[in-house]
Structure 1
Amino acid sequence: MTTYITDRIAIDPDICNGRPIIRGMRITVQTILEFLFAGTPREELLHQYPMLESEDIDACQQFAIKLMEKHYVIHEIKNVA
């Protein structure tokens, strides 16, 4: 069953091992973010992935920002040897 996080980002346990994907396609949010981080221009991504829309790239960036809004707690793990 596909769960939509936004209108463009979904999670489906049967696609890409449950990683966030774009509109049910086999393109992960992580893939797009890695390309952007590596300096790939938006126009090149849209050319390499013709089924991708500019709004999909925006949604990936917004998704990453939303993840950073979470509160994270680091717990020390003690060695039990």
Structure 2
Amino acid sequence: MTNYQQYISINPNIRFGKPCIKGTRITIQDILVWLASEMSFEEILADFPELKEEHIRAALAFAADIERRTRLIAA
């Protein structure tokens, strides 16, 4: 997903400035933790109806992009 930025916002007044899904207080970290704990997309969407599948994919793309940038800086 190359356009993940349209789904993510960073606001210092929401969740201490952590990246969140726009219009929610759900952080990218929240989504990654749920996925790491083996929650499926379907389970996450059932528990958080304000999310859509593209929000979960945007969270993954954001995390991958951060990892890519970290590796470039460290090299």
- TM bin (shorter chain): 0.7 to 0.9
**Residues 1:66 and 2:65 are matched in the alignment:** yes
Higher RCO structure, 1 or 2 (CA under 8 Å, sep 6+): 2
Larger Rg: 1
Which contiguous aligned blocks of 4+ residues in structure 1 show a shift greater than 3 angstroms? none
What is the CA–CA distance in structure 1 between the aligned matches of 2:55 and 2:14, rounded to whole Å? 17
- Structure with more helix by fraction: 2
Q: CA RMSD in A?
A: 1.5
Unaligned runs of 5+ in 2: none
TM-score calculated relative to the size of structure 2: 0.86
Match of residue 79 from structure 1:
none
Question: How far apart are residue 69 of structure 1 and its match?
Answer: 1.0
* Residues 1-51 of structure 1: CA deviation (Å, up to 9, x unaligned): xxxx70001100000000000013100000000000110011000000000
Identity %: 36
Unaligned runs of 5+ in 1: 74-81
AA partner of residue 28 (structure 1): T
* Number of residue pairs aligned between Structure 1 and Structure 2: 70
